[in-house]
Structure 1
Amino acid sequence: MNKDKQISNVAIKQVALLVIILVLAGLICFNLSLFIPSVLGAITIYVVCRRYNFYLQEEKKWKPWLSSLVLMLASLIILILPIYFIADLLIDKLGNAQVYMAKFNVFLDKIHSYIYSKTNFDILSKENMDKVKSSAGKFSTSALSGTFNTLTVVMSMYFILYFMLASPRLFERILSSSAPLKRANISLIGEKLRKLIMANAIGIPVVALGQGIVGLVGYFIFGAPSPVLLFALTAAASMIPVVGAAIVYIPVCIFMIAEGNTGQGLGLAIYCLVVVGLTDNLLRFTLLKKLENIHPLNTVFGIIMGMNLFGFMGLIFGPILISFTLLLIQVYRNEFSDEDTPPELQLSNKNNDEGGTTNLIV
């Protein structure tokens, strides 16, 4: 009986090896933590460009280096530059801290005074007003310091991406062979990960740009102050769940009304509530639903976590990590439970039994 209760040598070796792997992986991640956003960004762009990369290399017979450089340039123009343009607008406007803070303080005081005079409701006490102004000042002065970090992340991201695109089959074979999972679960991870990345890397920026452009038209029509800056702020705010772009255009409308431009302020408010809101709903319920149905709570907590870990890039990577963690829990259940195989895995198991090949990213 005692022998039955003893832990086998194989189990001890497995546990010891797992501990060593985890310790080494922890040391690597800790010392290379600055490059984690670069790796995540490279994987994101690889998934987006994967189909076109195989088409150019295997059907059009392009050289791997040529295909890689063309796709890297295309991704830079289509994906990176629009996001960088919005960030650069914000940095350019917020970088001059003294000028910006003077205007922001007037803007905030005007809104507070107008609401208090009309409703006799002190929306922000003097202490809270000072805290808001201080936080905005710290953000504006630290915006420029993030420019170098962003450029460093982008450069290292494309350095990693080149080797992924140049040898895609080798890259995927290494990942799939390194994963200690069944082929069916590897296929499930690859398919779900592709959908998550497409929804976050393509869907969210498209929704942000769509709302920003529609909002920009309204800002010009109704004469809002600094419409180009408001465009960048609206696009960035649209990525925030629940409140979205309203956190930008509602204070602007109140400010315009407080300035005496009642008709223009009310017109802008109606335009933003109807047209910008309709644009948001239209894009989210068409584009994002087709790409992947991501639960709003995943987005909320993902953005909060991602912003803390990766800064501005966490708007995209945070929700992916939350969804991927939930996916791994599902894979763990599929891998080790005695329950029946889920429907989505039955086809994969059948193909694998027939000798089909498995790719990590489908």
Structure 2
Amino acid sequence: MPDVFNNRLRQIILLIIIAFLLIALLTQLYAFLPGLLGAATLYILTRNWYHKLILKKRWKKGLTALLFILGSIIIISIPVYFSIKMVSPKINSLVNNQHEVMQGIQIFSDKIEAFTGMKIFTDENTKSVAAKISAAIPKLLNTTANVLTNLIMLFFLYYYLLVNGRAIEKYLGKIIPLKEENVDKLASETIVMIRANAIGIPIICIVQGIFATIGYLIFGVKDWGMWGFVTGVFAFFPLVGTMIIWVPLVVYLYSTGNNYTATGLMIYSIVVTGNVDYITRLGLLKKMGNVHPMITVLGVIVGLKLFGFMGLIFGPLLVSYFIILIKIYLNEFAEPTPATAEPSPKE
């Protein structure tokens, strides 16, 4: 008995030390978590192709991994490049013509006041908005630096996941304290959820960008193609993403006296663009991975807070893990009730 007690005590102490070190590491490396999650996403999406090339085609591991990294960089860089190329002239124009922008906002405010009797923007509010915009620029630069750092971390980890992926998978299978069938269930759930979100979300953005472009074209928005593309990019963020684009456009149209056009675009954006986002997001993700709509919505809300941009993919996975781990716990540890217990053989 003393030996058993001492073994248990050593086991508990060791687990406490491991948990403490894990928390300390996660706390210090939290800023790089999006890069880690992004590397895991790319690995899960491409692991089958990579293994076919190195096992069946006999390609070299390192060179094949570098080829996959190069392809990923190209795929990621294309929308980023076109976004910067299209949007940067507009940003420069806004920065160089802040007085005209504030004047347009004031005109819009005056029209709202004349219609409703409520004054949205005063001179103090306008100055406050300008000050907040100026203060946000350094934060934007810091965010850009953080994104670049996470991209470097992403591709660094992605390389080693590809080269050593099979060994890592075997190791994880050994250390996870569950039955083999439940480990397989976790693995399959991870693959299904990540594929559903990582592939489904870009498709959703394309669909929503197309419908937004049609709306901008119908209502005569200048540079409608550019604004439609940018709307599709911001559609990555559910519910409010496209509003970042079409709300300022509506305000601008009202400020320039195009009241009917502005009203039409606002109605179209709310009814068509917004509902296309909702219907496509929930319907497509459910079809691709049999993901329940509530898991998608709750997962995105939680994920964006915890993981930032990668929360769009891993938020629903986190909610799904919560549900499946409860099922696994019942399967692993719950004792059968008398009603479900197997009858003992007759003597």
Q: TM-score range by the shorter chain?
A: 0.7 to 0.9
Structure 1 or 2, whichever has the larger Rg, is: 2
C-alpha RMSD over aligned residues: 3.6
Aligned match for 2:203, one of 202, 206, 211: 206
Q: What TM-score do you get using the length of structure 2 for normalisation?
A: 0.78
For 1:112, the aligned partner's letter is S
**Equivalent residue number for residue 262 of structure 2:** 265
**Equivalent residue number for residue 108 of structure 2:** 111
Q: What TM-score do you get using the length of structure 1 for normalisation?
A: 0.76
Unaligned runs of 5+ in 1: 341-362
Aligned match for 1:32, one of 17, 21, 29: 29
Counterpart CA distance in 2 for 1:20 and 1:223 is: 64
**Equivalent residue number for residue 19 of structure 2:** 22
User: Per-residue deviation at 1:12?
Assistant: 2.4
State whether residues 50 and 162 of structure 2, in contact with CA within 8 Å, keep that contact through their aligned partners in structure 1. Answer: yes
Number of aligned residue pairs: give it. Answer: 335
For 2:321, the aligned partner's letter is F
Aligned match for 1:165, one of 157, 162, 168: 162
Q: Does 1:73 align with 2:63?
A: no
Q: Percent identity?
A: 34
User: Per-residue deviation at 1:24?
Assistant: 1.6
Aligned match for 2:38, one of 26, 37, 41: 41
- Deviation sequence 1:83-129 (CA, Å, 0-9, x none): 57547866775588843755653454343322222122345677766
**Equivalent residue number for residue 288 of structure 1:** 285
**Equivalent residue number for residue 332 of structure 2:** 335
User: Per-residue deviation at 1:289?
Assistant: 1.7
Could you say if the C-alpha distance between residues 283 and 302 of structure 1 is closer, same or farther in structure 2, counting changes exceeding 3 Å?
Answer: closer
Could you say if the C-alpha distance between residues 321 and 278 of structure 1 is closer, same or farther in structure 2, counting changes exceeding 3 Å?
Answer: closer
**Equivalent residue number for residue 344 of structure 2:** none
User: Per-residue deviation at 1:82?
Assistant: 2.6
Counterpart CA distance in 2 for 1:32 and 1:169 is: 25
Counterpart CA distance in 1 for 2:142 and 2:85 is: 12
Counterpart CA distance in 2 for 1:289 and 1:119 is: 42
Unaligned runs of 5+ in 2: 338-347
For 2:70, the aligned partner's letter is L
Counterpart CA distance in 1 for 2:77 and 2:169 is: 24
**Equivalent residue number for residue 62 of structure 1:** 59
Counterpart CA distance in 2 for 1:209 and 1:60 is: 34
- Deviation sequence 1:270-293 (CA, Å, 0-9, x none): 543455346425532542122235
Q: Which has the higher contact order (CA 8 A, sep 6+)?
A: 1
User: Per-residue deviation at 1:18?
Assistant: 1.3
Could you say if the C-alpha distance between residues 286 and 75 of structure 1 is closer, same or farther in structure 2, counting changes exceeding 3 Å?
Answer: farther
| Partner SS, residue 72 of structure 2 | helix
For 1:216, the aligned partner's letter is T
User: Per-residue deviation at 1:154?
Assistant: 1.0
| Partner SS, residue 178 of structure 2 | coil
Aligned match for 1:253, one of 235, 250, 254: 250
Structural mapping, 1:104-143, within 5 Å: 105-122=102-119, 133-143=130-140
Counterpart CA distance in 2 for 1:94 and 1:329 is: 49
